[in-house]
Amino acid sequence: MNEAIHLFRTQVTQLGVEIEDLQLQKFDLYFRTLVEWNQHMNLTAITNESDVYIKHFYDSLTPVTNIDISTINNIADIGSGAGFPSIPLKIMFPHLRVTIIDSLKKRINFLENLVSKLSLTEVTCIHGRAEDIARVPQYRDSFELVTARAVARLPVLNEFCLPFTMRDGIFLAMKGSDYQNEIAEAQLSLNRLNGVIEHTQVFRLPEENALRANILIRKTASTPKMYPRKAGTPIKQPLI
């Protein structure tokens, strides 16, 4: 076991989750597959092993300190990119049924290959715009937990993600140091889309000390019929 993996095991344990050898092997394969594919397409600017383990893998698992993932059955990850946070959560909590939505087909191809390599079951990867997929009845107002990480600012994310979240479910927005300004901007979108900020977990990543914030938004009622608006509109005309 190299230093990055050994340190990762210690850090995950400190989050209150025990990680088994098989799970560590899956994270190692995840890292190697990510770096391999990243040579041919832009999945991440972060390729150093220790940085990937801290900035991607560890960061993806930080919600466990505020959300009891063991009680959640299904999650949707919107704009997942290279699979964060849903694939690390799936590795640690194999019972999860995961739906990943991303607008770039190349990323979906990577994720499908990754899911196969890691022998993960009940992971569905969907190519499409969040605004379009959220109109499909089987996905609308359907997920106990919806996640988004490094996708867009919070007013836009609310319109992307709250339509997927079931009533009384949680939308988890994983943000950086500007989270307070984003929260201030997001009040109109929260009101329109029936979301209430329940808790904001502010923390610093180990080793590099970068500030992060996990914003937990509770869905209080079904999504109004007019949302989400036409694809592209939330970004061009955010609810601010």
Q: In the structure, what pLDDT confidence band is assigned to residue 1 with cuts at 50, 70 and 90?
A: low
Q: In the structure, what pLDDT confidence band is assigned to residue 186 with cuts at 50, 70 and 90?
A: very high
Q: In the structure, what pLDDT confidence band is assigned to residue 178 with cuts at 50, 70 and 90?
A: very high
> How much is the pLDDT for 159?
98
Q: What is the mean pLDDT of residues 112-127?
A: 98
Residues 30, 88, 74, 14, Cα dihedral to 10°: 160
How confident is the model over 226-235, as pLDDT tens digits? 999 999 999 9
How confident is the model over 34-54, as pLDDT tens digits? 999 999 999 999 999 999 999
> How much is the pLDDT for 95?
98
> How much is the pLDDT for 27?
98
**151, pLDDT greater than 90:** no
> How much is the pLDDT for 150?
80
How confident is the model over 193-225, as pLDDT tens digits? 999 999 999 999 998 889 999 999 999 999 999
Q: What is the mean pLDDT of residues 91-117?
A: 97
Q: What is the mean pLDDT of residues 130-142?
A: 97
> How much is the pLDDT for 156?
97
How confident is the model over 57-74, as pLDDT tens digits? 999 999 999 999 999 999
Domains located in the chain, CATH noted: 3-236 (3.40.50.150)
Spatial CA neighbour of 147 closest among 170, 124, 167 = 170
Residues with Cβ within 8 Å of 13's Cβ and at least 6 positions away in sequence, in order, are 19
pTM, full prediction: 0.96
Q: What is the mean pLDDT of the chain?
A: 96
Percent of the chain scoring above 70 in pLDDT: 100
Residues with Cβ within 8 Å of 44's Cβ and at least 6 positions away in sequence, in order, are 34, 38, 52, 56, 81, 82
Map tokens 């949707």 to a residue.
Answer: 76
